[in-house]
Amino acid sequence: MVETGTHLLDAALSPQRVFLTRESSKENILQFLVNELGQCGEVDDVQALHTAIFTRESLMSTGIGLGIGVPHARISSVRRMILAVAVNNQPLDDYEAIDNLPVQIVFMVAGRPDQQSNYVRLLAVLSHVVKQESNRKAILSASSPEEIYQTIRQAL
């Protein structure tokens, strides 16, 4: 069953998985988010998630443009669909986004292989949220993870 965007986001994201980071490269921020997702209790095999995220990046960058990155993967060692958000203190030039702009906001999504519909829906919802400039500005100007979380929720 395909769920609504708000419902999906509420189920996948919690304020504890929203971070203000100070990473210096794409690799570092991806590693950071993998580790954070690995610690949330919904991932049985963190190494598998790491491999899946970086393998996906090797196929094509998940920098979707407008300073946004959406690394994602579906693996069987994830119990349910989860999302982590990192807003870096500086744009990352090495993200190789499709519009060649540096990336500053990163949404990492991990799901199960059999969750194709909801997985696609969540990615589409995130894409829709960050395409609006006001939303992006609000996220970038937020001073705390809680504020970022509320901004994303209210944008839906």
Partner 1 sequence: MEFGILLILGIGVFGGILGAWFFQKLRIPQVIGYIAIGLIIGQSGLGIIGEMDIPNLRPFSYLALAFIGFLVGGELEGKIFRQYGKQFTGIMLGEGLGAFVVVGVGSGIILWFITGNIPASLAGGLVFGAISSATDPASTVDVLWEYRSKGLLTTGLVSVVALDDALALTLYALGTTVAGLLVGGEVNFLELFRSLGIELVGSALLGVAAGWGVSSLLKHSKSSDRSLTLLVGVLLLIAGVSITFHLDVILCAMAAGATLINHAPHRSKPLLETLRAFASPIYVMFFVMVGARLQLGAQPIWLWGLVAFYVIGRTAGKYAGTWIGAKISNSPPLLQKYLGMGLFAQGGVAVGLSMMAGQHLSGVEVMNGLDLGTVVVSAVTATTLIVQLIGPASVKWAITKTGEIGRNVTEEDVIAELYVKDVMNAEPVSLQEGELLSQVFDKFSSHDQLCFPVVNTTGACVGVISIDSLKSLFVEQEIWAWMLAGDVMVPIKEVVTPEMPLAEAMETMHQMEAEETILRDPETQNPVGIFDLRNAKRSISKMLLKRQGV
* Site for partner 1, rule CB under 8 A: 2, 56, 59-60, 62, 64-65, 70, 72, 74, 98, 113-114, 116-117, 120-121, 123-124, 127-128, 131
Name the β-bridge partners of 82: 110
Question: Position of tokens 């509320």?
Answer: 150
What is the 8-class DSSP label of residue 81? -
In the bound state with partner 1, the residue whose beta carbon lies nearer, of 89 and 132, is 132
Smallest distance, partner 1 to C-beta of residue 16, A = 26
Residue 12: enclosing H or E segment and its boundaries? Answer: helix 5-12
Smallest distance, partner 1 to C-beta of residue 114, A = 7
Pairing between β-strand 68-69 and β-strand 63-65 as defined by DSSP bridges: antiparallel
Q: What are phi and psi of 27, to 5 degrees?
A: -60, -45
Taking only Cα atoms into account, the Rg of the chain, rounded to an integer number of angstroms, comes to 14
Measured distance CA(43)–CA(51) in Å, rounded:
13
Smallest distance, partner 1 to C-beta of residue 64, A = 5
- Do the beta carbons of residue 124 and residue 4 sit within 8 Å? no
